Chains A and B, each alone.
Chain A
Amino acid sequence: MLKLKNLQVLLVILLILPVVFIGCKKKEAGEEKTVISVKGSDTMVNLAQKWAEVYMQTHPNVSIQVTGGGSGTGVASLLNGTTDLANSSRELKESELETAKQKGVTPVVYNVALDGIAVIVHPDNKIDNLSVQQVSDIFAGKITNWKQLGGPDMVITLYGRENSSGTYEFFKDHVLGKDASGKQVDYSPATQVLQGTAALGEAVARDVKGIGYGGVGYFAHRKDVKILHIKKDDNSPAISPAENGVVNFQVIWNGDYSISRYLYCFTNGEAQGELKDYMDFIVSPEGQKLVETMEYIPLPPKG
């Protein structure tokens, strides 16, 4: 009997405790929190989360919610007014600017960091360097066998990203480029589409015939994929965006490494209040230091 009673008391305490704690928490967070929602590029989602985390430590009155979904999603949300800040790994498209005009949104662009796109292969692949033209021909499906590049007789397996990712667009514009008649070259239809840079890394790491592309930050420290040296044209030196597991900033800042891009944040109109404070934090030395620790490329030092 006594035991049963004890049990009942315990149960009651267990039921009441959470209620008490919830009550306490409410009192602590008495004042209203400013909520900033951030949405966009999957490439930037880790970085954006880091920024938010560090910023919230020093600004307990601000709550920043970061979600990915891709640059296209971020921009679309900004235009629909469902997010305060859109992360994007590409510039705004013509069509998006038009939609913005229709909806009365004036996107303001902030350069917040840089990103190099690494071309990766399986570590067992003997090939070390390729020219931009060769990479272009590979992904356009003109070169289909490693033999054509001086490698073993193996069919090349292409790994790419889904067609709404910023990396897909950037790589298409800057590497595939345009053909002789001025038409945009498309990826080969044989390109396997993977969801996200991490999945792409996994796939290439398991496929000795594979080649893929993605942010240098994801791949610099990984031993299960090899980052290729890229030549701007046949006569220029082959340059790797990462050496010994560390990203080589200099070659990206001065443009020696050909496949790099700026990363952007878009706001609706000039940022104000807490949002402005947050944007200032991102481009501050402290914010840029975080860019470096997350293995992206910080903005070049001013002056």
Chain B
Amino acid sequence: MEDKEFFQKAVNSKYAKKIGKHTRLKESLIKIFFAVNGTMALIFIILIFVFLFKEGFKALDHIGLLDFLYLDRPDASGNIERVFQWYPTSEEPRYSLIPLLIGTFLTAFPATIISTLLGVGAGIYLSEVANPKFKEFLKPMIELFAGIPTVVLGFIMLVVGASFFNDILHPANRLNAFVASIGLSFVIIPIIASLTEDALHSIPNDLRMASYGLGATKWQTISKVILPAAFSGVSASILLGFGRAIGETMIVLMCAGNAANLTSNIFLSVRTMTATIAAEMGEVSQGSDHYYSLFFIGIVLFTITFFLNLIAEIIINKMRKKNTF
């Protein structure tokens, strides 16, 4: 209200009349410039969306929706065998996304669990335990860590990490889902830590004071008061981290071994959806079924991460409303 009155006064004042036509034009041009910038992001997203779905759904002209799940084919003795395999360039192409989905989740789930433990812990430390001066130093450090190019992390895991875990755990494959999920954790821990810290920080101090006033210790305050109060924010940070783990490409391409195994063994090589697109898109001939099926994987990937981000966004918005006392 006050703003409006002030604005009215300003418009009616004698200075306002001095503003020339020229300046008005400039003002409106600037306004348009920023409006275009603002909507640009939206337009690009819609264009990407349209392109992805246009190319991806062409796959369904030649490949049935069920073929993306399994293929029934006769084996050597003539029995019908149900296979879940990704062989897009074979004489008899098989496009099952099941091994790729399993690969994606077999790397993303463990990575999220590891990062939740360490990331939430780091977030609690930053927000509740660390002294403010040290925190001011540590938080930018953690955020800087998130900015390391993933190809560098992937390379480190490939050369150092894989050999290290090979020597102590003796896995069936040197490059496996476990090594990749450790690599992914490096990316997700900073995300979860930073967002958890934000969520905890937004909890009003009155809650802490009340808890201490009732004689609670620091740990009791954190575990019984602060964490429950910030539960939605923390879970949103985990969801965002999980979404990032699913969409991450370079680390899994380098460290997961890229064998489209149908397995639940975390020490075997797996192949994720992102790595499949990255490895095969470069050389696939445009317009082939294989090409469109890669776009279809893109749609699946996009849908998963879209909904994860949407849920996280809804939770965060709810939390913001709740926390404005």
List residues of A whose CB falls within 8 A of some B CB: 69-73, 75-76, 80, 95-96, 99, 155, 157-158, 162-165, 169, 179-181, 183-184, 186, 189-195, 203, 206-207, 210
By a CB distance below 8 angstroms, the chain A residues around B90 are: 184, 186
Q: B285 contacts A76, CB within 8 Å?
A: yes
Interface stretch, picked from B169-177, B198-206, B220-228, is B169-177
Contact of A190 with B269 in the complex, beta carbons under 8 Å: yes
Contacts of A207 in B (CB 8 A): 174
**Min CB gap B85→A, angstroms:** 6
Nearest Cβ on chain B to A152's Cβ, whole angstroms: 14
Complex contact B282–A73 (CB within 8 A): yes
**Looking across the interface, which residue of chain B has its beta carbon closest to that of A72?**
B283
Bound-state CA distance A295–B259 (Å) is 30
Cα–Cα distance between A175 and B261 once the two chains are bound (Å): 22
Judge whether B91 is part of the interface by a CB distance below 8 angstroms. yes
Which of B99, B163, B174, B175 makes the CB contact (< 8 A) with A189?
B99
How far is it, in angstroms, between the C-alpha of A115 and the C-alpha of B260 when the chains are bound? 29
Please give the distance in Å from A47's CB to the nearest CB on chain B: 19
Name the 7 nearest CB pairs between A and B, nearest first: A164-B283, A193-B258, A184-B91, A70-B283, A192-B257, A72-B283, A163-B89
Determine whether B81 belongs to the interface, using a CB cutoff of 8 Å to chain A: no
Chain A contacts for B259, CB-based, 8 A: 158, 189-193
**Do A192 and B282 have beta carbons less than 8 Å apart?**
no
**Nearest CB of chain A from residue B81's CB, rounded to whole Å:** 13
Question: At the interface, yes or no: B121 with Cβ under 8 Å from chain A?
Answer: no
Pair A206/B163 contact, Cβ less than 8 Å: yes
Interface of B is mostly: loop
Number of residues in B with C-beta < 8 Å to the partner?
Answer: 34
Instruction: Give min CB distance, A158 to chain B, whole Å.
Output: 8
Question: With A181-B76, A186-B90 in contact, is A206–B174 under 8 Å at CB?
Answer: yes
**Known contacts A72-B285, A162-B280, A192-B269; 19 further A-B pairs (Cβ under 8 A):** A72-B283, A73-B283, A157-B174, A162-B283, A164-B280, A165-B283, A179-B76, A180-B76, A184-B92, A186-B90, A189-B259, A189-B262, A190-B268, A190-B269, A192-B173, A192-B175, A192-B258, A192-B259, A194-B258
Residues of A within 8 Å of B280, CB to CB, are 162-164
Q: Specify the chain A residue showing the minimal Cβ separation from B283.
A: A164
Q: How far is the CA of A183 from the CA of B94 in the complex (A)?
A: 14
Interface centre among B76, B85, B257 (most CB of A within 10 A): B257
Residues of B within 8 A of A169 (CB): 89
Task: Report if B298 contacts A (CB, 8 A).
Answer: no
Could you list 14 A-B pairs, sorted by A, with CB under 8 Å?
Answer: A72-B283, A95-B285, A158-B259, A163-B87, A163-B88, A164-B89, A179-B76, A183-B91, A183-B92, A189-B85, A189-B261, A189-B262, A192-B269, A194-B258
Complex CA gap A155/B279 in Å reads 26
A189 touches B285 (CB 8 A): no
A148 to chain B, nearest CB (A): 17
Specify the chain B residue showing the minimal Cβ separation from A162: B279
In the complex, what residues of A have CB within 8 A of residue B260's CB? 189
B257: chain A residues at CB < 8 Å are: 192-193
In the complex with contacts A184-B90, A192-B173, A203-B175, A164-B284 CB distance below 8 A: yes
A99→B172 CA distance, assembly (Å): 43
Contacts of A157 in B (CB 8 A): 172-174
- Complex-state Cα separation, A37 to B91, whole angstroms: 32
In the complex, what residues of B have CB within 8 A of residue A95's CB? 285, 288
Interface 0/1 of B269-299, CB less than 8 Å to A: 1010000000110111111100000000000
